[in-house]
Every structure is written in structure tokens, then in C-alpha cells.
Amino acid sequence: MFLQNADLTLSGLDDPELALWARVDAHGRIEGTAGFELSGRNALIRSVAVAAPARRTGLGSQLAQFAFDRAVEAGAERAWLFSRRSGPFWQKLGFVSADRDELVQLLSATHQVTEFTATGQLGREIAWSRALSQRP
Ligand SMILES: CC(C)(COP(=O)(O)OP(=O)(O)OC[C@H]1O[C@@H](n2cnc3c(N)ncnc32)[C@H](O)[C@@H]1OP(=O)(O)O)[C@@H](O)C(=O)NCCC(=O)NCCS
């Protein structure tokens, strides 16, 4: 529900291979989420979202960094993601515009690429990438 409200993809979220974390407040309400799918040395960052009242306080950056750190621990050297609306947020975290076809090739086994390919959404997506070894 939280990710649906943020208009983010739900595919594969029941797969134990997909890492997903949620931060909750004192009442157990979700404040934000972040996750990734790994394919070799490449991580597809997914589900980075912050509840509307908690936005613009640094939480999205913290959650994204948490996912990067976990992805590095899992063996990732490069992070990739799709984002149509939040490019400036990702640019502040060191991402640059990337080749969508390269993303698809490297991460073809992931749920999100599989779904975007099947539904045709891929053609509307914008790809971003960043090396994970260096911090911005
Ligand atoms: C994108 C999102 C996760 C950002 O979360 P957040 O907690 O507001 O982000 P932060 O507070 O860490 O912002 C970090 C920087 O990015 C900027 N920023 C955040 N969202 C932005 C946006 N939509 N457009 C432009 N700049 C943005 C902030 O101003 C901040 O810059 P500053 O440090 O110079 O002040 C949040 O807006 C969200 O949940 N959006 C809907 C879901 C979504 O689109 N997720 C991305 C999926 S790929």
C-alpha cells in the first residue's frame, strides 16, 4: 500500500532474493522504504520512498545510502535505477543519466526489468547509474 501510494512497482516484492527495508515511526507507521535487486556486480535500486509528511528532511537520502551500503556488502560495484520524476534527488546522490539498454542487459534477470519489458513501460523509463565504490 505504501509503495502503491508512492506509485512504485510492486513486482517481486515477495521474492526473498529482493532486499527491502522499511523504517517505521513509534506507532508502527511506515515512514520510508528502500531496497535493491542484485545481479552479479550490479544492483538495481528499488522502492526508495518517503511518506509525504516526512519528505525533504534527508530521510530519502539516508534510506538510499542504507540500500547502497547493503548492496556493496552483497557484492555490488554499481547501482542502477529507473526514475522518471525524481532525477534531481538521484543526481544529488551522485547518479548520472545512464543507457537504458545497458541497464536492461545487465539486469535482465530482475523482476523490475522483466515487468517493465512485459508491460511496455520500459520505453517510458529513464535510467540512472553510479559507481558504488565512491561516495558523491
Ligand atoms: C524521491 C524521494 C524518495 C525523496 O525523499 P526525501 O526524503 O524528500 O529526500 P531528501 O530529503 O533526502 O532530499 C535530498 C535532496 O534531494 C532534493 N529532492 C528531494 N526530492 C526532490 C524532487 N522531487 N525534486 C527535486 N529535488 C528533490 C532535496 O531538496 C534535497 O536537496 P538538498 O539537500 O539540497 O536540500 C521522495 O520524494 C519520494 O518518496 N517520492 C515518491 C517516490 C519516488 O519517486 N521514489 C523514487 C523512485 S525511483
Ligand 1 and 27: CB distance under 6 A = no
Q: Is 16 in the pocket of ligand 1 (CB under 6 A)?
A: no
> 18: Cβ below 6 Å to ligand 1?
no
**Mean pLDDT, rounded, for 21-29:** 94
86, 95, 112: residue to mutate for ligand 1 pocket, most atoms within 8 A of CB: 86
Q: With contact defined as beta carbons under 8 Å apart, do 80 and 129 qualify?
A: yes
pTM over 0.75: yes
Confidence tier at 15 by pLDDT (50, 70, 90): confident
pLDDT in tens, 56-82: 999 999 999 999 999 999 999 999 999
User: What would the DSSP string read from start to end of 12-44?
Assistant: TTT-TTSEEEEEE-TTS-EEEEEEEEEETTEEE
What domains, with CATH codes, occur in the chain?
2-131 (3.40.630.30)
What's the full length of the chain, in residues? 136
Sheet holding 42-50, edge to edge: 19-24, 30-39, 42-50, 78-82, 127-131, 96-97
Whole-number Å distance between alpha carbons of 59 and 134? 21
